[in-house]
Amino acid sequence: MLSRVVLSAAATAAPSLKNAAFLGPGSFFNHTGLGVPLKTTKRIRASICTIITCRVLQATRTFRTGQPHLAPIPPLPEYGGKVRYGLIPEEFFQFLYPKTGVTGPYVLGTGLILYALSKEIYVITAETFTAMTLIGIMVYGIKKYGPSVAAYADKINEQKLAQLEEAKQSSIQQMQNAIDMEKSQQALTQKRHYLFDVQRNNIAMALEVTYRERLYRVYKEVKSRLDYHIAVQNMTRRKEQEHMINWVEKHVVQSISAEQEKETVAKCIADLKLLAKKAQAPLVM
Amino acid sequence: MNENLFTPFSTPTILNQPATIPIILFPATLVLTSKHPINNRLATIQQNLIQLTLKQMMMTHNAKGQTWSLMLTSLITFIAMTNLLGLLPYSFTPTTQLSMNLAMAIPLWAGTVMVGLRFKTKNSLAHLLPQGTPTPLIPMLVVIETISLLIQPVALAVRLTANITAGHLLMHLIGNAALALSTANFSLTLLTSTLLTLLTILEIAVALIQAYVFTLLVSLYLHNNT
């Protein structure tokens, strides 16, 4: 990876240095010479390392002749190849099947083992017994606990996958919730005009009420002014009347002289006596 | 094949060249590393086991002690794998060599002591005297505690060497007995084979336990000193 980057950078930056074994000092990185004191900062040290790496890569260019991988390599298979007796791949049996049939590899194996034993290529020692017991224990252990261990491993993997899946699902769910809320908000804005209508109505009513109130006040004011005028008129009339009555009374009283008063009083007495007689007469009857 | 009983413990040679270094490095090739979150079953189980031991071991330490987790985890994995591989026939177990065990024990123990002396000088020196000792005994007790401190790496190394070597030797001896008896008296061979089976099971357990003990003790020394 680094070699590709370096090579391409070198090719573009220094076309004349085709087979040169080293680059110019810091041509496309920071300028640092080799005489740098020991107490350098981390960044300067990193850049020095980069420069040295580039120089080495450039110098060894002629040794690297293989084609680099330009594409991602294919993924590894999930399960290994099938194996018989834990050691011998199934392809071997398939390989021998056309010529020797099913028993071919077994006969080959038996022959090899007997050959090794009889020619003492494999010597039976104490280790043989150790090997036999060990293999016996291993086979027993794998046969007995193998499936449960495999199930445990699968369970662990499944839990990891489930966790990731859960994360993904919860993220999707959150998005969905956000979308739904947004939609409901949009629907609410559609119905907002009801609110505005009600408010408008309220304001109109309030305005109407104020208007009527002021109208009434105006009416009252005007009425009171008119009442005042009427009262003034009435009072003037009354005063005039009283004045006239007083004047008439005064003149009448002035006009009545003293003899007229005596004459009137005597007549009244005579009338009264007559009336008394008239009243006594029906009573006797 | 084997001239005496101790040839399995000699330095393995390939064409007269010592082959110890590839043999010591071999268990590392069996521990799988993977960048993928979901692996095959073997990798998952290995990852799970290592995670389990890591949690179990490093829970008791504080932050400073937990900087040793990589060291201790790789230690226990290395010792366990080496011991288990040594149970295979015709194999060489590096942990049977005192040289290697000392090379593992002394730097680790010295590391814990130095960490303790540097960062908690008073505390680590105070470990040299147990609490509640009567005053006249103090000088003697300090000497005794110092000796017990200095003997710790030797004890670690010798414990591991002796256990594994003894187990291997015993298996060889009983195998030889079974071999000799197979010509003489077959039923006794069966008996001896049963004994060998039980012994192998024990050896497997011992292999794992020794790894655990080694790492646990180093972790304990670390805990005392951080």
Predicted confidence at residue B170, as pLDDT, reads: 87
Take residue B214 and report the two structure tokens written for it. Answer: 């080694």
Min CA distance, B195 vs chain A (Å)?
10
Mean pLDDT of B175-192: 80
Predicted confidence at residue A108, as pLDDT, reads: 94
Mean pLDDT of A240-247: 96
Nearest CA in chain A to B197: A133
**Residue B127 falls within a domain, yes or no?**
yes
Min CA distance, A77 vs chain B (Å)?
10
**Residue B119 falls within a domain, yes or no?**
yes
pLDDT digits (tens, 9 = 90+) for B51-67: 998 888 888 888 888 88
**Residue B76 falls within a domain, yes or no?**
yes
pLDDT digits (tens, 9 = 90+) for A88-105: 999 999 999 999 999 999
**Residue B32 falls within a domain, yes or no?**
yes
Give the number of domains in chain B.
1
Q: Are the beta carbons of A123 and B40 separated by less than 8 Å?
A: no
- Give B179-187's long-range contacts (Cβ < 8 A, gap of 24+): B179/A124, B179/A125, B179/A126, B179/A128, B179/A129
pTM of structure: 0.65
Q: Are the beta carbons of B179 and A161 separated by less than 8 Å?
A: no
Kindly provide the residue ranges of all beta strands, DSSP E only, lying in A48-174, ordered along the sequence: 83-84, 88-89
CA geometry: angle A192, A195, A200, nearest 5 deg: 125
**Residue B2 falls within a domain, yes or no?**
no
**Residue B20 falls within a domain, yes or no?**
yes
**Residue B171 falls within a domain, yes or no?**
yes
Q: Which residues contact B106 (CB under 8 A, 6 or more apart)?
A: B153, B157
Query: Residue A18 — very low, low, confident or very high, per pLDDT cuts 50/70/90?
Result: very low
Mean pLDDT of A50-75: 78
Q: Which of B41, B176, B193 sits opposite A154 (nearest CB)?
A: B41
Q: Which amino acid is at A15?
A: P
Range of the domain at B44: 7-224
How does strand A83-84 pair with strand A88-89?
antiparallel
Q: Are B58 and B76 in contact (CB under 8 A)?
A: no
pLDDT: is A191 or A206 the higher one?
A206
Q: Which of B48, B173, B196 sits opposite A133 (nearest CB)?
A: B196
pLDDT: is A200 or A54 the higher one?
A200
Q: Are B152 and B221 in contact (CB under 8 A)?
A: yes
Q: Which amino acid is at A96?
A: L
Report chain A residues touching chain B, CB-CB < 8 A: 78-80, 123-134, 136-137, 149-150, 152-154, 156-157, 160-161, 164
Q: Which of A125, A150, A156 sits opposite B1 (nearest CB)?
A: A125
**Residue B196 falls within a domain, yes or no?**
yes
Specify which of A113-117, B4-8, B150-154 reaches the highest per-range mean pLDDT.
A113-117
